[in-house]
Amino acid sequence: MTKRTIVTMPGDGIGKAVLKETLRVLKAAGFEANYVHGDIGWDCWCKEGNPLPDRTIKLLEEHKIGLFGAITSKPKDKTLAELAPELQGKGYTYYSPIVTMRQHFDLDICMRPCLSYKGNPLNFIRRTADGGVEEPQIDVMIFRQNTEGLYGGVEWTNPPDKVYDALMTHKKFVDNFAWCPRPELAVSTRIFTKKYVTRIVKAAFEYAKARGFKKITVCEKPNVIRETSGMMLKVAQEMSKAEYPNIWVEDVNIDAMTMWLTKNPENYNVIVAGNMFGDIVSDAFAGLIGGLGFATSAQFNPESGVCVFEPTHGSAPKYAGFETSIVNPIAMVSSAVMMLEHLGENAIAEKIKNAVAKVVAEGKVRSYDMKKMKGTPDVVNQGAASTTQMADAIIAALK
Ligand code: NAI
Ligand code: MG
């Protein structure tokens, strides 16, 4: 069999350290692939005026599978100040390479798992009725629509005539907002399309079916946001009836969800939501399983097959310059596990997952975040494992 080619995009800051260690883990677990490097991030912006160079897009188009670390982005005044002098004044403008990658490849399906590892000192715990303490097992997959909704970018301040006139055809706008001077009016749209809503809901059902779960939870707000949230709920209910009669659809509003997840997080296994609510609910769940050192995600286009796997954390610039990297590689390693599952390499994926679980459960090797330490270069001398030592421990646990 010819080896697969994976596009590795370490990006900036700690993205480089966690990806490097993850590749060691993959190799030690027996995964064979060719890796090609794709440039992305702040350095590309500074040197080339383009944080997502065309050559990286071409690599992804060709090889389809990407493993991505993290990038740095900075406020507007810094973007121009840090651009190479020879590129200054030539009309370059910074854009988010991640959002652009999502839009370019139409990576509409975002999966964000939240799985608690036994023995993780960062796990959520709660009081029992008799005053004791218990730790619910959390195993949730959040399906976030990744390209539409409030993050779709269709928005205006001081909307142009045609937009304003169209708004004025809506009674609610006339009643509640027509008093506002136009230059003081800001509008961000929330656009859902049936095609992409159907795709994300379908992905959630398929996952529930494969894992044997009996319900999916639509986490929106259809009682208030009637058109868009309403569409997602209706699509889910109809799909349940027509194609998945054994999986029922639970309707939980986003606000209520953030309450329920700290009461009964174990009640949820498959959640589907639009872009912004999916972003919120996945960060909220991630907090229950250890936060950024553990939170991971995958983004797919089911038609073209392009997919990118990445930790949800950023480049953590304040730790990037340390001589010995101290950050937790588990989020990145878990992204690679999702990649393996996607490639059908389930045995290797399982092996790595079990190794991570073993390291966490044993508790002998822990990065600074798991030790609840403040992240300084000194933590390694104070008993915290470095990024490399964490990877070494995972590799040792593979056997
Ligand atoms: P961040 O996720 O980089 O870091 C926030 C804090 O979380 C860190 O200071 C650290 O305390 C902790 N942390 C993050 N990853 C960790 C790990 N693997 N192990 C242990 N602790 C970890 O977010 P921040 O500071 O808001 O943003 C830094 C830069 O990253 C910015 O330029 C931002 O634009 C960018 N960013 C990029 C993302 C991406 O590439 N997907 C996502 C979020 C932010
Ligand atoms: Mg987020």
pLDDT grade for 399, boundaries at 50, 70 and 90: confident
**Structure tokens belonging to residue 323:** 């001589």
**pLDDT of 1 over the 60 cut:** no
> With 90 as the cut, is the pLDDT of residue 155 above it?
yes
Q: How confident is the model at residue 77 (pLDDT cuts 50, 70, 90)?
A: confident
* Sign of the torsion angle spanned by Cα atoms 42, 156, 199, 312: positive
Residue 219 pLDDT greater than 90, yes or no: yes
Q: Is the pLDDT of residue 249 over 70?
A: yes
Across the range 304-320, mean pLDDT stands at 96
What number does the ligand 1 atom closest to the CA of 312 have?
41
pLDDT digits (tens, 9 = 90+) for 93-120: 898 899 899 989 999 999 999 999 999 9
* Helix/strand/coil for 144: strand
Q: How far apart are CA 24 and CA 387, in angstroms?
A: 12
Q: What is the mean pLDDT of residues 35-61?
A: 97
* DSSP 8-state symbol, 316: -
Give the model's pLDDT for residue 349: 97
158 touches 181 (CB < 8 A): no
| pLDDT-wise least confident of 16-30, 71-85, 228-242, 374-388 | 71-85
- For residue 71, how far is its CA from the centre of ligand 1 (angstroms)? 9
Residue 171 and residue 390: Cα distance in Å, rounded?
59
Q: Is the pLDDT of residue 40 over 90?
A: yes
131 Cβ contact list (under 8 Å, min separation 6): none
Residue 225, C-beta contacts closer than 8 angstroms, at least 6 positions apart: 190
Instruction: Compute the distance between CA of residue 86 and CA of residue 47 in angstroms, rounded to an integer.
Output: 9
Of 203, 196, 282, 349, nearest to 268 by C-alpha is: 282
Q: What percent of the chain has pLDDT over 70?
A: 99
46 CA to middle of ligand 1, Å?
Answer: 20
DSSP bridge pairs for 296: 311
- 259: how many CB neighbours lie within 10 A of its CB? 11
For the stretch 8-23, pLDDT in tens is 999 999 999 999 999 9
**Alpha-carbon gap, residue 252 to 260, rounded angstroms:** 9
Distance 235 CA to ligand 2 centre (A): 25
Instruction: Flag whether pLDDT at 354 surpasses 80.
Output: yes
Looking at the predicted structure, is the pLDDT value of residue 2 above 80? Answer: no
Tell me 184's DSSP state.
G
Give the residue, by CA position, lying nearest to ligand 1 atom 16.
293
Question: Which residues on neighbouring strands pair with residue 310, listed in sequence order?
Answer: 297
Q: What are the pLDDT digits (tens) for 168-199? A: 999 999 999 999 999 999 999 999 999 999 99
Pocket test for ligand 1, best of 44, 292, 299, 310 (most atoms within 8 A of CB): 292
pLDDT tens digits, residue range 255-269? Answer: 999 999 999 999 999
Rounded Cα–Cα distance for residues 169 and 260 (Å):
39
Report the atom number in ligand 1 closest to the C-alpha of 368.
20
pLDDT tens for each residue of 158-167: 999 999 999 9
Atom of ligand 1 nearest to the CA of 70: 40
Task: Return the residue whose CA atom lies nearest to atom 5 of ligand 1.
Answer: 316
Phi, psi of 10 (to 5 degrees): -65, -35
Q: What SS3 class is residue 83?
A: coil
Residues with CB under 6 A from ligand 1: 18, 70-73, 98, 292-293, 313-318, 327-328, 331, 369, 375
Q: What is the pTM of this model?
A: 0.94
**Residue 140, by phi and psi: left (phi above 0), alpha (psi -120 to 50) or beta?**
beta
CB atoms within 10 A of CB 172: 8
Percent of the chain with pLDDT over 90: 94
Alpha helix stretches (DSSP H) within the chain? 14-28, 42-48, 54-63, 76-81, 97-105, 161-167, 171-177, 194-211, 228-243, 254-260, 275-286, 317-320, 330-342, 346-362, 387-397
Tell how far the Cα of 314 is from the centroid of ligand 1, in angstroms: 3
Q: 385 - beta bridge partners?
A: 367
What is the mean pLDDT of the segment spanning 119-126? 97
The helix or strand, by DSSP H or E, that contains position 139, with its residue range, turns out to be strand 139-145
What letter would DSSP give residue 378?
Answer: G
State how far the Cα of 9 lies from the Cα of 20, in Å rounded to an integer.
Answer: 10
